[in-house]
Amino acid sequence: MSTNKIKIFPSNKILLLLTVAGFVIFILINQLIFAALSATYTTYGILDFEFAWTKARVLTIFTVWGQQGMLDQRIGVYWDFLYIVGYVSFISGCILLVTRQLEGKVEGIGYRVSVLPALAGVFDIIENINLLIMINNPITFPISLPSIASICALIKFALLGVSIVFFVIAIIILIYRKLKNK
């Protein structure tokens, strides 16, 4: 999609609706699913699993979780697929809403950065597939899967970090320009 098209499509009204819907999905899943799982499993959480890096570490996590913990975390990973839709819509929408009010080089960068959350979502999907393979085959999963999942998680969080940093900088630039023009 060209930057000229992304300036007007979707309309700001639809974009705002998608952004708010993404935010609602993001918050609800965070509070109702992930917070409950975090409170239940205090020794090792999902982030420990995502960044286990080795089969030995994954097996240690599985031992601590036990069968019920693995079942709970499997359900959490399935919820994460909907969570991806939420954070991609929310973060991309925020970036686009602000970018459409900017000009020049920063505007062009903003349109490019707005796709990074979707790219992060792709890496999250790859990560989740690897997590599910491990959790569904706790003994026989390939030794490479923890590294693949961890690399994908690292890339995902880096892309989301860049997106959020850009959004904050864009807001500051927008506020500065509006104050300067008063």
What local confidence, expressed as pLDDT, does residue 59 receive? 98
- Tokens 């925020």 belong to 94
Mean pLDDT, range 102-125, rounded to an integer: 96
Instruction: Please determine, for residue 182, whether its predicted confidence score (pLDDT) is greater than 80.
Output: no
What local confidence, expressed as pLDDT, does residue 66 receive? 94
Name the percent of the chain lying above pLDDT 90.
85
Mean pLDDT, range 35-46, rounded to an integer: 86
Instruction: Please determine, for residue 56, whether its predicted confidence score (pLDDT) is greater than 90.
Output: yes
Instruction: Please determine, for residue 6, whether its predicted confidence score (pLDDT) is greater than 80.
Output: no
What local confidence, expressed as pLDDT, does residue 2 receive? 57
pTM metric for this prediction:
0.93
3-state secondary structure of 8: coil
Instruction: Please determine, for residue 7, whether its predicted confidence score (pLDDT) is greater than 80.
Output: no
Tell me the pLDDT band of 9, cut-offs 50, 70 and 90.
confident
Mean pLDDT, range 77-90, rounded to an integer: 98
What local confidence, expressed as pLDDT, does residue 3 receive? 60
For residues 127 and 63, what is the distance between their CA atoms, to the nearest angstrom? 21
What count of other Cβ atoms lies within 10 Å of the Cβ of residue 176?
10
Asked if residue 51 lies in contact with residue 157, where contact means CB atoms within 8 angstroms, the answer is no
Asked if residue 76 lies in contact with residue 37, where contact means CB atoms within 8 angstroms, the answer is yes
For residues 69 and 63, what is the distance between their CA atoms, to the nearest angstrom? 9
Mean pLDDT, range 34-49, rounded to an integer: 88
For the chain, how big is the Rg over CA atoms in Å? Answer: 19
What local confidence, expressed as pLDDT, does residue 42 receive? 73
What local confidence, expressed as pLDDT, does residue 11 receive? 87
Contacts of 177 by beta carbon, 8 Å cutoff, 6+ apart: 102
Contacts of 121 by beta carbon, 8 Å cutoff, 6+ apart: 84, 85, 87, 88, 156
45-78 burial string, b = 16+ CB within 10 Å, else e? bbebbbebeebebbbebbeebeeebbebbeebbe
Asked if residue 170 lies in contact with residue 105, where contact means CB atoms within 8 angstroms, the answer is no
Average pLDDT across the chain, whole number: 94
Instruction: Please determine, for residue 10, whether its predicted confidence score (pLDDT) is greater than 90.
Output: no
